[in-house]
A and B are shown apart, each in its own frame.
Chain A
């Protein structure tokens, strides 16, 4: 196998509580675009960080061009010809493109000849079909252009193997096309590209071969020519396993709509459109699962409904009443409860006590305050009641929530949200990061709430969770709802395809 560029064998990497890579085997040939495909958390970034010397593997070997190597640092890997373009850029904003490219390069002379450097950078950019002005300052550039600078940085250092970690996540489709042309130009010169993604279409169109990771293990490597998005989807999410649907005390009443979104649009923090004409309803006692790979608009969806983010179009109603745009207090008053994915710093104020956090949603009500002054004794007794009712393990109600364990943090949050007697609950990744016991408890609480008539929008990346809890499943992809399927008819394979962006007949 003389034309093997990189071979990783039996790579194991453990983090506290998780095995991120669990015996990964991965081989990349010279001159190919090799895609590394997998869901979030599959271990893709960890594997590439090992290859570039950022992490050291607990077990396993790495061979570069057939000879074993051990990298102590990203610099050592770069010296050996392996360069990485990270998910998050590492550029100096007030500097020019050319300056960033030569920054940290040991060959850079003490006195910099900006003219020649700029020319060399421009020449490199032309060769790989990357439009970027070497004299522009980084802060003036679009995200796509900044990414090109990152690529130029590693090319300038003479990298033969380039790793790009989810490069298209931040790009517009047109920018992504341009990136693919650049990658082709590089492999045509004999360089090797490792392309990390969870998007099926992209992987199909840009790669020569594909390795799929799932749960830290290699599922397999296939030739792109010989595979299909369908096969990749099932490799990515796993063959449908047996799982039990939760038994409900009282059935959902989808006809009695408690939450309805009609053609809702909104922008993300950077002003890009994050939701496109989202239309969905949740009935009384119904659990609607929102499946999708993180970053496809789920956070914005939750925030728009909770009034934390203004929509740029469309209407949201709760029990038939329109909720004023972007006003969290109005949403709360209207009966919207929200368990955000970032529990400790959005759903709770981590430095505050359990009792303050329990009062976060109703401290303005006459129950807890009068004439602008808080009734501290009522706040304490309210918290005491909720702590015992929801079995929160805490020394006392004055303990800051940041000292509680993850499961108990989530219990505090759920206790408070349910104590407001909501009509609608938005739950974003409500069990992520919890241990098995806590997951059970949280799921039990959600089902209990649904049984009592709360309409729940369950946003989760965990397909099993959605399939076992939801009555109906919608799939989000790039800010759009691409499917709306009764949970009883959904298959993992089909959901995996939709989550990866495969076009499909929408079953209604």
Chain B
């Protein structure tokens, strides 16, 4: 019953593994995916070229990729921020909805009157505050009553979805377009509240995407350089050591969860300000941005700057998937390819913590 290979925990994690392993995983995924494609009678090189082209090469495709990447970057940062502390906030989904509700509220309310710049800033802040408040429910429950944050944050996702629907289906809702007859939809925001788009290097970049990059840099500084980041690291490493030096663990849990929710909240605000320009209850719930953000954070190994990169990669992959789909290319195959890439990436993650050892070469194994 003994397998010839075993996993052995690495004492040290060399730095080069951080980029080598993801790269090797990606190559592995491409090879396995290629076999699947061959088996279904497709030319793998051709398909891969199309993915590259539709996702990342043409100017139009990059614009689309960045658009999909924007919310994923925020939810990825949301997950990364909390996971660093060991708080498994999977509530990015709901926190994003609530952020969108907040941004739409102030956008609708200030729309006609206030100066453009101020309106946009207030929309961003509203998204942050709403997302933060919603997430801090999770933080407070965890720090005060030690409830399992995975469960509470998941439940709050469903509640946020229901609130979102209510705000559109309730006929007297402030967010609902009174003119929408038949199927109800959100009230459109004034054009002055639309967030700007910038033409950079020949493709258009949404304001929200630049915000995501800024947020990632801030988060990176917090974790690498700040006192708060230092304390978060100590709590995650050893709660007893944190108690020993008097770090306010409960306060930190609430603060970090709120920060995490604020990030998802800006993502929601950006959906309103950058793209939809109304509270799009259905569109927000269609894409599972929050859940995909968890994958983004995991693949980026909780590195904020990495999360931006991974969000762009996944965004491109998603868009390429849409355009590949067709009579000759079933959507199931697209899903299979995407799944393979995620799977090998996560599997590769194990190899940064463990290494493979032959059982025969080693000394006799000690019963664990």
Q: Which A positions have Cβ atoms within 8 angstroms of B?
A: 306-308, 327-332, 338, 340, 342, 345-352, 356, 359-361, 363-364, 369, 372-374, 376, 403
* Apart from A332-B245, A338-B244, 19 more pairs, CB < 8 Å: A328-B243, A328-B244, A329-B245, A330-B246, A345-B238, A345-B241, A346-B240, A349-B234, A350-B237, A351-B238, A352-B234, A356-B230, A356-B233, A360-B245, A363-B230, A372-B226, A372-B228, A403-B11, A403-B12
Q: Which B residues touch A307, using CB under 8 A?
A: 246
A-B pairs with beta carbons under 8 Å apart, 6 shown? A307-B246, A329-B246, A352-B234, A372-B228, A373-B227, A374-B225
Which of B225, B233, B238, B242 has the most chain A CB within a 10 Å cutoff? Answer: B238
Tell which of B228, B230, B238, B246 touches A346, judged by Cβ atoms closer than 8 Å. B238
Q: Is the CB of B227 within 8 A of A349?
A: no
Within the complex, the shortest CB–CB distance from A347 to chain B, in Å, comes to 6
The majority secondary structure among interface residues of chain B is helix
What per-residue 1/0 map shows which CB atoms of B212-249 lie under 8 Å from chain A?
00000000010001111010011001101111111000
Which of B12, B228, B240 has the most chain A CB within a 10 Å cutoff? Answer: B240
Within the complex, the shortest CB–CB distance from A97 to chain B, in Å, comes to 27
Per the 8 Å Cβ criterion, residues 1-46 of B in contact with A are 11-12
Q: Is the CB of A351 within 8 A of B227?
A: no
If A351-B238, A352-B237 touch, whether A374 touches B245 (CB-CB below 8 Å) is no
Q: Which B positions have Cβ atoms within 8 angstroms of A?
A: 11-12, 221, 225-228, 230, 233-234, 237-238, 240-246
Within the complex, the shortest CB–CB distance from A22 to chain B, in Å, comes to 23
Tell which of B230, B238, B241, B243 touches A374, judged by Cβ atoms closer than 8 Å. B230
Q: Is the CB of B238 within 8 A of A328?
A: no
Complex Cα distance A294/B228, Å?
36
Q: Which residue of A lies closest to B233 (CB)?
A: A352
Q: How many cross-chain pairs have Cβ atoms below 8 Å apart between A and B?
A: 68
Q: Which residue of A lies closest to B241 (CB)?
A: A349
Q: Which A residues touch B227, using CB under 8 A?
A: 363-364, 369, 372-374
Q: Is the CB of B237 within 8 A of A349?
A: yes
Q: Is the CB of A308 within 8 A of B241?
A: no
If A327-B246, A328-B244, A346-B244 touch, whether A376 touches B225 (CB-CB below 8 Å) is yes
Q: Which B residues touch A359, using CB under 8 A?
A: 230
Complex Cα distance A403/B243, Å?
23
Within the complex, the shortest CB–CB distance from A343 to chain B, in Å, comes to 10
Within the complex, the shortest CB–CB distance from B223 to chain A, in Å, comes to 11
Complex Cα distance A148/B62, Å?
70
Which of B11, B228, B242, B246 has the most chain A CB within a 10 Å cutoff? Answer: B246
Complex Cα distance A332/B12, Å?
33
Complex Cα distance A121/B8, Å?
46
Q: Is the CB of A348 within 8 A of B241?
A: yes
Q: Is the CB of A360 within 8 A of B241?
A: yes
If A372-B226, A374-B227 touch, whether A361 touches B237 (CB-CB below 8 Å) is no
Q: Is the CB of A308 within 8 A of B244?
A: yes
Complex Cα distance A359/B240, Å?
16
Q: Is the CB of A342 within 8 A of B240?
A: yes
Which of A351, A372, A373, A403 has the most chain B CB within a 10 Å cutoff? Answer: A373
Complex Cα distance A306/B243, Å?
10
Complex Cα distance A359/B231, Å?
11
If A352-B233, A360-B245, A403-B12 touch, whether A374 touches B226 (CB-CB below 8 Å) is yes
Complex Cα distance A374/B233, Å?
13
Q: Which residue of B lies closest to A357 (CB)?
A: B241
Complex Cα distance A227/B225, Å?
65
If A352-B234, A364-B227, A372-B228 touch, whether A345 touches B240 (CB-CB below 8 Å) is yes
Q: Which B residues touch A342, using CB under 8 A?
A: 240
Within the complex, the shortest CB–CB distance from A503 to chain B, in Å, comes to 36
Q: Which A residues touch B242, using CB under 8 A?
A: 349
Within the complex, the shortest CB–CB distance from B10 to chain A, in Å, comes to 11
Q: Which B residues touch A329, using CB under 8 A?
A: 245-246
Q: Is the CB of B12 within 8 A of A346?
A: no
Complex Cα distance A327/B248, Å?
10
If A369-B227, A373-B226 touch, whether A308 touches B234 (CB-CB below 8 Å) is no
Within the complex, the shortest CB–CB distance from B241 to chain A, in Å, comes to 4
Q: Which residue of B lies closest to A363 (CB)?
A: B230
Q: Is the CB of A347 within 8 A of B244?
A: yes
Q: Which A residues touch B11, using CB under 8 A?
A: 403
Q: Which A residues touch B244, using CB under 8 A?
A: 306, 308, 328, 338, 340, 346-347
Within the complex, the shortest CB–CB distance from B224 to chain A, in Å, comes to 8
Q: Which residue of B lies closest to A306 (CB)?
A: B244
Q: Which residue of A lies closest to B229 (CB)?
A: A374
Complex Cα distance A338/B238, Å?
17
Complex Cα distance A351/B84, Å?
14
Complex Cα distance A369/B237, Å?
21
Complex Cα distance A359/B234, Å?
12
Within the complex, the shortest CB–CB distance from A276 to chain B, in Å, comes to 24
Complex Cα distance A331/B228, Å?
21
Within the complex, the shortest CB–CB distance from B227 to chain A, in Å, comes to 5
Q: Is the CB of B233 within 8 A of A373?
A: no
Within the complex, the shortest CB–CB distance from B243 to chain A, in Å, comes to 5
Complex Cα distance A358/B170, Å?
59
Q: Which residue of A lies closest to B231 (CB)?
A: A363
Q: Is the CB of A360 within 8 A of B234?
A: yes
Within the complex, the shortest CB–CB distance from B14 to chain A, in Å, comes to 13
Within the complex, the shortest CB–CB distance from A8 to chain B, in Å, comes to 24
Q: Which residue of A lies closest to B243 (CB)?
A: A308
If A346-B241, A374-B225 touch, whether A328 touches B246 (CB-CB below 8 Å) is yes
Q: Which B residues touch A373, using CB under 8 A?
A: 221, 225-227
Q: Which A residues touch B230, using CB under 8 A?
A: 356, 359, 363, 374
Question: Closest 10 CB pairs between A and B?
Answer: A328-B246, A329-B246, A349-B237, A346-B240, A351-B237, A349-B241, A349-B238, A349-B234, A345-B238, A346-B244
Within the complex, the shortest CB–CB distance from B365 to chain A, in Å, comes to 16
Q: Which B residues touch A360, using CB under 8 A?
A: 234, 241, 245
Complex Cα distance A363/B246, Å?
12
Q: Which A residues touch B234, using CB under 8 A?
A: 349, 352, 360
